[in-house]
Structure 1
Amino acid sequence: MICWVLYDIKNDRSRSKIAKVCLQTGLYRVQYSVFLGKIEKNDRDTLQLQIEELMDESTDSVYIFPMSKDELRDTKLMGQAFDKKMITDELKSLFL
């Protein structure tokens, strides 16, 4: 499944660690606090647990949104958006 991870983390060190975990999971950074990529359900659950350990639930927020490949293909990108081809079946990439 395709998955978005978005966050607002107050602590710099925690934010850096969460970004590192997202990258190690194979997600692609599309903005400073936004990641996207193909991830299996078990890996998504593991990622969620790792993030929960690093974040402060009283001040931070993290969103993990699943998305189908069809929904990603229908997504409209404007301005300096990421290259959607890196996530879809159209090109081989880290995620497929």
Structure 2
Amino acid sequence: MIVWVMYDIEKDRARTRASKICLQAGLYRVQYSVFLGTIDKNQFDALHLQLEELIDEEKDSIYIFPMSKDELQQTVLLGRAFDKDFVTDEVRSLFF
């Protein structure tokens, strides 16, 4: 499945750890706190649990959006859309 992960985490250490968890799951950074990629159900569950463990639920938020390739291709991107310093060809290929 294709997933978007977006987070707003207050503490630097937890925020850094969240980005490492996303990258280790095979996701690609598209903005500072936004990741996109393809993972299977087991990876999705592991990602969910790892991210849940590191946040302060009173202050932080994480959104994990699963979607199909058809839904992703219907996504509207406005402006620069992706930060060109982060986006790889793997991310671009998900949209075509």
TM-score between both structures, scaled by the size of structure 2: 0.85
SS of match in other structure, 1:75: coil
* Aligned pairs for 1:39-54 within 5 A: 39-54=39-54
Q: Deviations 1:38-62 (Å, cap 9, x if unpaired)? A: 0111101000111111111111101
Runs of 4+ residues deviating >3 angstroms: none
Q: CA RMSD in A?
A: 1.4
* Aligned pairs for 1:21-40 within 5 A: 21-40=21-40
- Which ranges of structure 2 fall in alignment gaps of 5 or more residues? none
Other-structure match for 1:16: 16
Give the deviation of 1:86 after TM superposition: 3.0
CA distance in 2, matches of 1:15, 1:86: 27
CA distance in 2, matches of 1:69, 1:85: 12
Give the deviation of 1:77 after TM superposition: 1.4
- Count of aligned residue pairs for this structure pair: 89
SS of match in other structure, 2:29: strand
CA distance in 2, matches of 1:66, 1:21: 17
Return 3-12 or 78-87, whichever deviates more: 78-87
Give the deviation of 1:87 after TM superposition: 2.2
* Aligned pairs for 1:63-74 within 5 A: 63-74=63-74
Return 63-72 or 74-83, whichever deviates more: 74-83
Other-structure match for 1:76: 76
- Which ranges of structure 1 fall in alignment gaps of 5 or more residues? 91-96
Q: What's the % identity of the aligned pairs?
A: 62
